[in-house]
């Protein structure tokens, strides 16, 4: 498996992963790397099988701090449970650690797989919220849990 920064050539592969995961499509603008954001893909046999990103929030959102956040991670359904999300998260954490001593992420309170994955990287819960940086879970019917990890 190769984990590398996303390029515009990955757009079709990422679109396929988004559709298979039942998620909104990440457009070309989302894939482009910026100074304060990283998008990485996992490739197996020349095929994109996973994608993940980071976000940088300049301002706090109530109790959710400003800083580097892990964004979504998606893996093709037939490739899950093979360490791809772990490798994508490790690459994003290394990128954040090169820039900051603290990182954040949030997830739906029911996403046990995400909570287990991120516990591997030392993430601990900071609190529960209806909305974080404009994101809600289940149209506001579920809480989001905010997590932080320090280097």
Q: How far is residue 98's CA from residue 125's CA, in Å, rounded to a whole number?
A: 23
Number of domains in the chain: 1
Check pLDDT > 80 for residue 32: no
pLDDT tens across 89-147, in order?
A: 999 999 999 999 999 999 999 999 999 999 999 999 999 999 999 899 888 889 999 99
Neighbour-count burial of 62, counting CB atoms closer than 10 A to its CB (0-12 exposed, 13-18 middle, 19+ buried):
exposed
pLDDT band of residue 33 (cuts 50, 70, 90) is low
3-state helix, strand, coil in the chain (%, to 5): 30, 40, 30
Domain of 29? 2-150
Digit-coded pLDDT (tens) for 66-76: 999 999 899 99
Of the two residues 22 and 142, the one the predictor is more confident about is: 142
Q: Which two tokens stand for residue 57?
A: 């929030």
CATH number at residue 16: 3.40.630.30
Residues 98-133: b if buried by 16+ CB within 10 A, e if exposed: eeeeebbbbbbeebeebbebbeebebeeeeebeebb
> Distance (Å, rounded) from C-alpha 124 to C-alpha 27?
31
């Amino acid at each position: 498996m190769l984990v590398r920064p996303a390029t515009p050539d990955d757009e079709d592969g990422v679109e396929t992963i988004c559709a298979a995961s039942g998620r909104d499509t990440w457009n070309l603008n989302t894939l482009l790397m910026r100074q304060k954001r990283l998008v990485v893909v996992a490739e197996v046999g020349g095929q994109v099988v996973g994608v993940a990103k980071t976000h940088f929030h300049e301002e706090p959102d109530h109790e959710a701090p400003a800083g580097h956040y892990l964004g979504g991670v998606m893996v093709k359904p037939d490739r899950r449970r093979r360490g791809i999300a772990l490798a994508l998260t490790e690459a994003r954490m290394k990128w954040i650690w090169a820039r900051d001593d603290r990182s954040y992420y949030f997830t739906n309170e029911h996403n046990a797989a995400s909570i287990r994955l991120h516990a591997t990287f030392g993430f601990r819960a900071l609190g529960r919220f209806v909305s974080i940086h404009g994101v809600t879970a289940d149209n506001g019917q579920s809480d989001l849990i905010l997590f932080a990890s320090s280097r």
